[in-house]
Amino acid sequence: MLSQFPRVELAHLPTPLEPLPRLSEHLGGPQIWVKRDDCTGLATGGNKTRKLEFSMAEALAQGADTVITVGAVQSNHVRQTAAAACKLGLRCEVLLEHRVTDPTDAYATSGNVLLDRIFGANLREYAGGTDFDAAMADVAAEIQAGGGKPYLIPGGASNRVGALGYVNCALELIEQADAMGLSVDHLVTATGSAGTQAGLIVGLKAMRPEIPLLGIGVNVSKDVQEERVYKLACETADYIGKPGIVARADVVANCDYVGAGYGIPTAGMNEAVLLLARLEGLLFDPVYSGKALAGMIDLVRKGEFAGAENIVFLHTGGAAALFAYADQLEV
């Protein structure tokens, strides 16, 4: 399904699929496994590297010399895009959105922002709620006026091109589970810009439609998130030549764990991050994987997965952001 699309090698694949025995015992529910997309390798890893394999390949195929992208100040996507640009010899223009009000000094300068600067990305700062389609178009026009050839990557690389990375991840996970004799009863992941969940849905519906996928939201309400994911999943299915395989009912997001807003820590996230660190030696980030993990843990405790034997949690990475939240985490 994917061989027709240009792709560059950026990620260490396949990422591990590992059991979490101490967490499983602690919660007293199903066996919990983790798909380690924090181990994709590029710039401390994360889920966006899979997407960038396709986005960057299209940029190169179009003759681009500059990539332009957008993200929040502590964006994992921006960090991985900046690193990929370095690896491929491209310039990187970044539009950073100030989504978090009253940021601490650590938030504004540490974590992913520090890495962005190390990778030499040109960082431009914008107020929250900016029209980024227009802003990116303005930057593209500026690059063109200077003789450059820009390629635009949306936030999270979440369009039909980037989502191919998670169609591929679904296929990879199915192959790994089959080789291990593992029956996956539920797949759980964070959902934000929609590309990861949309790609996974398409891959699962194409190959193993009986596996339900739950996205745990990190920024918007359930109805908004589900519509966003459904739209992109349909576009992605059409793109790979599998129109109609995704139904609206396939898209499920639980957005009860966002808390006060995007990027704002919650007590549940704090507990989940410490629990996984101290039970399994794993690091999760405060914005995406940590809140999704908190949601999954709470749902296990509430018996929402009763009857299931195996849950796989897709770890989207982002531990670099922990340093930006060092003065807000209760450790």
Would you name the residues annotated as active-site residues?
Answer: 75
Q: How far apart are CA 83 and CA 317, in angstroms?
A: 15
DSSP 121-133: -EEEEEETT--HH
285-304 burial by CB neighbour count: b if 16+ within 10 A, else e? bbbbbbbbbbbbbbbbeeee
E strands, the chain, are 17-19, 31-36, 66-72, 91-98, 122-127, 150-153, 186-191, 213-217, 253-254, 310-315
Quote the tokens at residue 61: 């195929």
In whole angstroms, what separates CA 148 from the centre of its chain?
Answer: 29
Q: Identify which of 252, 62, 282 has the alpha carbon closest to the alpha carbon of residue 153.
A: 62
**Alpha-carbon gap, residue 298 to 267, rounded angstroms:** 12
